[in-house]
Amino acid sequence: MAPKVPRRPSFPRRGKREIRMSLGPDTELSIDAPSVRSYINALARRSPARLAMLVFGALILTITFLLMLPFSSRVPGNASFLDALFTATSAVCVTGLTVVDSASHWTVFGHVVLALGIQIGGLGVMVIASILALAVSRHLGLTQRMLAATETQSRLGDVGALLRAVIATSVIAESVLTIIFLFTFVRLDSSFVSALGHSFFMALSTFNNAGFVILDAGLAPFVGNWAVSVPIILGTIIGAVGFPVTLNIAKNLRRPSEWTLHSKLTVVTYFSLLGLSIMMMGLLEWSNPATFGQLSGAERTLATVFHATTPRSSGLATIDISQMQQSTWFFLDMMMFIGGGSASTGGGIKVTTFAVLVLAIRAEARGDRDTEAFGKRIPPDVVRLAISATFLGTLLVTSSTLLLTHITNLSFSQVLFEVISAFATCGLSTGITPGLPDSAQLVLIMLMYFGRVGTMTLAAALALRNRRRVIRLPEERPVIG
């Protein structure tokens, strides 16, 4: 019999750490840090969409608990959990719907917390997930690169560089907007520090299309102020078209022929819808004495362009939306539902989704075999994704509208407007949100979350794997129409 070889002593792995937390005199919780990191790393590689949803959920809960601290609100005690949760979700999802007045309810610390939630949320779902994956594994896995590249319309090798460019673009744009707003606010505020804080928050809310305002009187006093309204319009557009489009155009500014198909579709569709919005807002509200009718000619023009731009994603308003006509509400419903560009701070089903649907309908009406645009053929799977995203968005909106109509006694037009505003992370409101019952506010919270995460990201997170069938069933065409 062979001699027994003594076992080598086992030593703990280098770098292994435990996080210990005392939960009471006889209870202690220990968490193996490497195990947590390994779990996140595996999740980032296998299901980055689920990781993105978890990251956004964790961010919302973190902002919620920060807003519940006694020194976050001006009211005695602390904010209720539902008020804090609703505000945190609206901030992280860059929506702008509120149940309390942002200017008077929250302290300076609360405003800082809101700004932090807006900034992180504005960077986007897949960008945040990619940054977390980088921090955990020190590099992006192939699956994570593919999904991040899909979200940002970039090449696989450029994802890391693109993330740095996204952050740099945000910092530059917000800094420029802060300086522009400061020229106006410093003349209205007795304190330079306060004016600087308001300018920075306004720049943050504008570029990230967040819709939050912490000015005591809101934006109503600036309805005819070009120095405030024009930067908001331009900042909203830059944030809403999306980072990939902005970077692609900046790189090929003098060579439009080298723009990507995504950039061309986004620019053409976005500005076509913007032109339509300006025309319709002018026709519907120009003579309304409760809105544009009380303004001078120059102020009406500025207000028309302003409210044709912001409903697409930012949700900022210089006019009381509740005083607009119901026909205007319905038109704004359609614009909010379409939303902004892919990988942008805007919500909705995205303008490229809408463009692909229009192109597919045109191809079908003309009898074309392929869906084409700008000399390029759009793959059938992209058309299917556009149909799926639109259907899922429509399903969320219709089911939530039905539920809220049943819960409340409000008119259908008001409920539909609020539901689409929440889903599209726009933030415009007819004024009914603060008075909604708790159950209705929870519905809006879920809508904001799913609307920001994205219908296709949600679908990817729920799917365990792609089905690859070896055997294909025989083809037969059902009757359509």
Q: Give 204-254 as a DSSP string.
A: HHHHTT-----STTTTGGGTT-HHHHHHHHHHHHHHHH-HHHHHHHHHTTT
| Position 325 in a domain | yes
What is the DSSP code (8-state) at residue 322? G
Range of the domain at 402: 32-462
Decide if pLDDT at 30 tops 60.
Answer: no
CA pair distance 415, 229, nearest whole angstrom? 28
> Which are the contacts of 236, defined by CB distance < 8 A and separation ≥ 6?
206, 209, 309, 310, 312, 313, 314, 316
| Position 95 in a domain | yes
| Position 13 in a domain | no
CA pair distance 120, 106, nearest whole angstrom? 19
Decide if pLDDT at 215 tops 60.
Answer: yes
**pTM, entire model:** 0.85
What's the pLDDT score for residue 230? 95
| Position 49 in a domain | yes
Residue 86 near residue 212 (C-beta atoms within 8 A): no
- Nearest alpha-carbon partner for 328 in 301, 355, 308: 308
| Position 180 in a domain | yes
CA pair distance 377, 336, nearest whole angstrom? 28
Q: Which two tokens stand for residue 319?
A: 């006019």
DSSP three-state, residue 31: strand
209 torsion bin: left (phi>0), alpha (psi -120 to 50), beta (else): left
| Position 12 in a domain | no
| Position 18 in a domain | no
Place of tokens 């726009």: 426
Decide if pLDDT at 461 tops 70.
Answer: no
Highest mean pLDDT among 54-58, 117-121, 175-179: 175-179
Residue 303 near residue 319 (C-beta atoms within 8 A): yes
- Nearest alpha-carbon partner for 395 in 342, 458, 467: 458
What's the pLDDT score for residue 155? 54
What's the pLDDT score for residue 168? 83
Name the average pLDDT for the chain: 83
First to last CA, the chain: 83
Residue 244 near residue 238 (C-beta atoms within 8 A): no
Higher-confidence residue: 20 or 59?
A: 59
Q: How many domains does the chain have?
A: 1
Please, which residues bridge with residue 20 across strands? 30
Residue 389 near residue 282 (C-beta atoms within 8 A): no
| Position 24 in a domain | no
What's the pLDDT score for residue 46? 63
Mean pLDDT of the region 132-145: 55
